[in-house]
Amino acid sequence: MAGSLNTTSVACWSNETLVNPKKNGSVGLCPSVASAYFRETYTKDFIGKSLLVSDQKGLSHWNIKAPPSFSVHAQASFCVSRAMRWWEKTLKPNMVEINSAQQLVDSLAKAGDRLVIVDFYSPGCGGCKALHPKICQLAESNPNAIFLRVNYEELRSMCQSLQIHVLPFFRFYRGAEGRLCSFSCTNTTIKKFKDAFAKYGTDRCSLGPAKGLDESEILSLASMGKISKDLLFPSPKEERVEDLVFKQGLASDSTRKLTNKMGLKEEDAVLVG
């Protein structure tokens, strides 16, 4: 293991001025106790070796001797970068890691008419690991689709509420239609995934907001405190497109009956009020 070691040495004692003719360091006077100090910083490779610090080391270059109270303070730190784990590799811009049930609900609601694939996986699942590169390829070739990735180990209670019992597992969602299909597949049965994508992947426009999770799933997550309960009680000012169409249909039917009763032609009717 290799890393970078940064060492800072500080020496300070009273009523002496230090001058080091052979090394570049900063020399100054401690104003509070009339003490001189020097500071020297250097970097070198640290390969598992011990750091030895002696209060007499390197003092041969100085024109004074260190008093008995001389002390050296050293601070060392090193950082080793962590290798990427398999589920973090080759991710595409349209692949989003889900960190909470609230984020999943919000992501489905904001997706509009775009196709959303929820990918349930586990770091310890061999089938998930083998399938991951192909899912990344499909995400890259279909940039309009959104891939939401759910780590089963980190969101176990949410996954259990959604009745996820086998991995890898996929759910397809789109707009007001909500969930289109759900299934499990592996690297050898990837055709099942491709067939679902061919069936539901074509762009379409649906009336109304994105449905997302089923109502029973929303209630279950809300009862567990995983999502905001405000989702259960939509604002009365916001009406769905379906409700508006239904109301317009009733109004048109009432007008038609009224004009027939009055002996008027339908095109002569005028709505007021």
Active-site positions read: 125, 128
CA dihedral 131, 156, 218, 173 (to 10 degrees): 0
Partnered with residue 45 across adjacent β-strands are 4
170 beta partners: 119, 183
CA distance 117 to 111: 11
Angle, vertex CA 204, rays to CA 202 and CA 210, nearest 5: 115
Residue 7: CA count within 13 A, CB half-sphere = 15
Specify the pairing of strand 26-30 against strand 169-174: unpaired
